[in-house]
Chain A
Amino acid sequence: MDKGHTITIYSNQLSAALKAFLYRIADDQMVIAHRNSEWTGLGPILEEDIAFSSIAQDKMGHSHAVYSILHEHFGEADPDTIAFTRDEKDFTCCHLVELPIGDYSFSLVRHLLFDLAEQLRFEMLENSSFEPLAKLARKVKGEIKYHVFHAVTWITQLGAKGNEESKARVQSALNETFPLALGIFEPGDGDEELKVASIFEGEDVLQKKWLEAVTSILNEAGLTLPSLNDVEPVYGGRKGYHTEYLQPMLTEMTEVFRIDASAEW
């Protein structure tokens, strides 16, 4: 499917739904990449500095690739302009990714919960009827596999194979993070159109797969996922409502770029 073809067959409504979907994916990736990069120089051991930085670089690359699809197929601005000049309310990332790095236990749990969702989402997208996204999904699969592998290894190491303190810290981070992670699957306006057009099966389907996978990983790691019935998912990010942490992050991120947004940097 060439790019001209892609656009012409989509109704305005479907096109808007797909654009919104792509923005959600890319904003999540860009913001979590930024957060993960904040571990550089500060990790609990050097190997973790390096690992978090690697993962951050991959995710930054993935977000760039999705912003590029928006630019090339939907006439949106170029990736730098999209990422460095939009207002906070125009971002549609979930709250989970916005939070500061906090204690390593929080960053690790966020890394597992987010990356697992990412892995499953991209697995689903490999068969998407929107070929540019399907192609990207196939391309990044290998990288995301390692991100999840890293997260699972550490969760197990600090859970079942760790000591009392590490297990308690990770469990507590899990309890705190679970409602935020459910925000990944906040339904979007155009989800039904995406489903009908075989672009994406839906956040509900993804959440179900994710819950199964994460439950099994945590069982192995000697940890417990809070019950879905006991928590309220943290929604709002997909509609442009954000935590108090996103604006300061964006202000910092764009500090140099804003000196002269038209200059070559």
Chain B
Amino acid sequence: MYGNISVSDEPKNYEMVEENPQLLAEFEAKIDRGEKIEPHDWMPAEYRRQLIRMIEQHAHSEIIGALPEGTWITRAPGFRRKMALMAKVQDEVGHGQLLYSAAETLGKSREEMINDLLSGKSKYSNVFNYPAETWADTAVIAWLIDAGAIINQVTNSKGSYGPYCRALDRICAEESFHLKYGYDNVVTLATGTDVQRQMVQDALNRWWQPIMHFHGPPDKVSVHTDKLVRWKVKMATNDEMRQEFLDTYVPKIWELGLTVPDPNLHKNEKTGIWEFTEPDWDEFFRVIKGDGPCNKERLAVRKKAEENGRWVRAALARPSAKYTVPLS
């Protein structure tokens, strides 16, 4: 599951590399023809850097995202839900594995990426810094956060980098099952007992702001160069993806008799655009910088797992083995 962080993490002293104009022209012509860029093709340094950043953040989001839902595997009510949730969270970890492999084709090893995650240098989706307080939160996450992620991922799967696109195709196929699972879970609660109904409404209220944050800041404040669009790294704007999400899922939420905690949310029939109260973007940036309800806990869990598993990895390491960039 991954939304869009869209926060520039440019090092202050970063300078764009002057690229060979001919190679750059050939590269851009290839993208214009709709062809994919493969690992051993020539690519601008900035393209490589941005893709590593994006795929890596996506991979981290998958494995950190396994934590809030993972804590509910042991509490899932009944065999059916327990087995489905196990399979879902396992899928998410598998997506992490797949994405680290895709990013590795660009020359950064999984180990380096995980180290950057643990040191806080590399980000993950903000949404996972919020707690899953009740069982109903897991239902809302599996339905609406995964739905948001699918919109983002289907869009990005049409991008220009071959290995990332192929990973996303597979991920989207699995995510669509998560969405069905989440929806089924929400429907069960929303049509269940009063207690269940209240649980799911409360969860939706808690998650609405993170959901509105999910696709990243509004286009007017989001930092993006035209180049990323030109190179098909960035395939749709944050606002476009958010609109698509609202258009598809708000009617479904209302259909279940649930309410959205924003009295201003409505579709402007003239423009076809959903209008809403802007979520608190200061909070979004605070959470990204590490000051969210669960940032410390999430990284602490991950660090502990890394620490506990160190002896296993050391036993697998072969001193003679040399790191090579995988082909695709």
Partner of A60 from B86, B90, B94, B315 at Cβ < 8 Å: B86
- Shortest distance in angstroms between B285's beta carbon and chain A's nearest beta carbon? 27
- Is B75's CB under 8 angstroms from A256's CB? yes
- Shortest distance in angstroms between A254's beta carbon and chain B's nearest beta carbon? 8
- Is B193's CB under 8 angstroms from A166's CB? no
A9 adjacent to chain B (CB < 8 Å): no
Bound Cα distance A158, B310 (Å): 13
- Is A252's CB under 8 angstroms from B97's CB? no
- Is B63's CB under 8 angstroms from A46's CB? yes
Partner of B315 from A34, A48, A163, A260 at Cβ < 8 Å: A163
Across the interface, which residues of B come within 8 angstroms of A206, CB to CB? none
Partner of B90 from A50, A103, A169 at Cβ < 8 Å: A50
Partner of B70 from A40, A256, A257, A259 at Cβ < 8 Å: A40
Q: Which residue of A lies closest to B79 (CB)?
A: A64
- Is B308's CB under 8 angstroms from A45's CB? no
Across the interface, which residues of B come within 8 angstroms of A84, CB to CB? 77-78
- Shortest distance in angstroms between A47's beta carbon and chain B's nearest beta carbon? 7
- Chain A 102-134 against B: per-residue CB contact (8 Å), 1 yes, 0 no? 011000000000000000000000000000000
Bound Cα distance A194, B101 (Å): 52
- Shortest distance in angstroms between B96's beta carbon and chain A's nearest beta carbon? 6
Interface size on A, residues (CB 8 A): 45
Partner of A41 from B66, B76, B312 at Cβ < 8 Å: B66
B6 adjacent to chain A (CB < 8 Å): no
Bound Cα distance A195, B188 (Å): 46
- Is A53's CB under 8 angstroms from B315's CB? no
B251 adjacent to chain A (CB < 8 Å): no
- Is B77's CB under 8 angstroms from A34's CB? no
Bound Cα distance A256, B87 (Å): 19
Q: Which residue of B lies closest to A58 (CB)?
A: B83
- Is B314's CB under 8 angstroms from A103's CB? no
- Is A260's CB under 8 angstroms from B196's CB? yes
Across the interface, which residues of A come within 8 angstroms of B77, CB to CB? 84, 256-257, 259, 265
Most-contacted residue by chain B among A46, A56, A64, A249 (CB, 10 A): A46
A1 adjacent to chain B (CB < 8 Å): no
- Is A50's CB under 8 angstroms from B94's CB? yes
- Is A80's CB under 8 angstroms from B301's CB? no
Bound Cα distance A256, B137 (Å): 12
Across the interface, which residues of A come within 8 angstroms of B135, CB to CB? 256, 265
- Is A40's CB under 8 angstroms from B196's CB? no
A213 adjacent to chain B (CB < 8 Å): no
Partner of A42 from B74, B86, B305 at Cβ < 8 Å: B305
- Is B78's CB under 8 angstroms from A162's CB? no
- Is A158's CB under 8 angstroms from B312's CB? yes
Across the interface, which residues of B come within 8 angstroms of A46, CB to CB? 63, 93, 96-97, 100
Across the interface, which residues of B come within 8 angstroms of A44, CB to CB? 305, 308-313
- Is B309's CB under 8 angstroms from A40's CB? no
- Is B305's CB under 8 angstroms from A43's CB? yes
- Chain A 149-160 against B: per-residue CB contact (8 Å), 1 yes, 0 no? 000000001100
Bound Cα distance A60, B82 (Å): 9
A54 adjacent to chain B (CB < 8 Å): yes
Partner of B196 from A56, A60, A157, A263 at Cβ < 8 Å: A263
- Is A40's CB under 8 angstroms from B66's CB? yes
Across the interface, which residues of B come within 8 angstroms of A49, CB to CB? 66, 90, 93
Q: Which residue of B lies closest to A161 (CB)?
A: B315
Known: A60-B82, A157-B316. A260 touches B89 (CB 8 A): no
- Is B314's CB under 8 angstroms from A80's CB? no
- Is A253's CB under 8 angstroms from B314's CB? no
- Is B97's CB under 8 angstroms from A61's CB? no
B81 adjacent to chain A (CB < 8 Å): yes
- Is B78's CB under 8 angstroms from A263's CB? no
Bound Cα distance A38, B66 (Å): 12
- Is A42's CB under 8 angstroms from B301's CB? yes
Known: A41-B66, A61-B83, A169-B311. A255 touches B75 (CB 8 A): yes
- Is A57's CB under 8 angstroms from B86's CB? yes
Bound Cα distance A38, B94 (Å): 16
Provide a sorted-by-A list of 5 A–B residue pairs whose CB atoms are within 8 angstroms: A44-B308, A60-B86, A64-B79, A162-B316, A264-B192
Closest 10 CB pairs of A and B: A44-B309, A166-B315, A44-B312, A265-B77, A162-B315, A53-B90, A257-B77, A256-B77, A41-B66, A41-B70
> A interface vs B, CB < 8 Å?
34, 37-38, 40-50, 53-54, 56-57, 60-61, 64, 79-80, 83-84, 103-104, 157-158, 162-163, 165-166, 169, 249, 252-253, 255-257, 259-260, 263-265
Known pairs A46-B100, A259-B77 / 17 extra A-B pairs, C-beta < 8 Å: A37-B73, A37-B74, A41-B67, A41-B89, A41-B301, A42-B308, A60-B79, A103-B308, A104-B309, A158-B312, A162-B316, A163-B315, A165-B314, A256-B75, A256-B76, A257-B77, A260-B196
